[in-house]
């Protein structure tokens, strides 16, 4: 089974397993918990992480933090479960495509 993670929007997460999907809306980007959402969706489907044979993660464009979080979770699952990610070998490095340069500023302290 393929797990698909779409986290390009900072208050919206879409998780799919084969032809079944779930959209989760968050009131704040800080509330987004991708791993918890994946685990909860798998439980709803009476599946476990061991039932996943490959991962597809959206790489963008999208918000910097949300894409980075989705890609990081997908890479960690790929490595831990020893399964392919975006049709590459387990644990492969996947680059997010932000669509523009990240807007990261220096601390004012």
Please report, for the chain, the start and end positions of each structural domain, with discontinuous segments joined by +.
2-81
Q: Check: CATH 3.30.300.30 for 2-81?
A: no
Q: What is the pLDDT of residues 32-85, one digit of tens each?
A: 899 999 999 999 999 999 999 999 999 988 888 888 899 999 999 999 999 999
Rounded Cα–Cα distance for residues 13 and 71 (Å): 13
User: Taking residues 22-32, what's their average pLDDT?
Assistant: 89
Considering the chain, what percentage of its residues have pLDDT values greater than 90? 64
pLDDT above 70 for 106: no
58-79 core/surface letters (b: 16 or more CB in 10 A; e: else): bbbebbbebbbbbbbbbbebbe
């Amino acid at each position: 089974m393929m797990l698909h993670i779409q986290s390009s929007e900072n208050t919206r997460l879409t998780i799919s397993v084969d032809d079944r999907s779930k959209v989760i809306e968050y009131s704040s980007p800080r509330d987004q918990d991708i791993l918890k959402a994946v685990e909860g969706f798998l439980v709803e489907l009476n599946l476990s992480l061991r039932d996943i044979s490959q991962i597809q993660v959206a790489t963008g464009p999208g918000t910097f933090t949300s894409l980075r979080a989705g890609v990081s979770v997908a890479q960690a699952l790929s490595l831990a479960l020893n399964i392919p990610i975006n049709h590459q070998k387990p644990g492969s490095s996947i680059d997010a495509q932000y669509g523009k340069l990240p807007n990261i500023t220096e601390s004012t302290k």
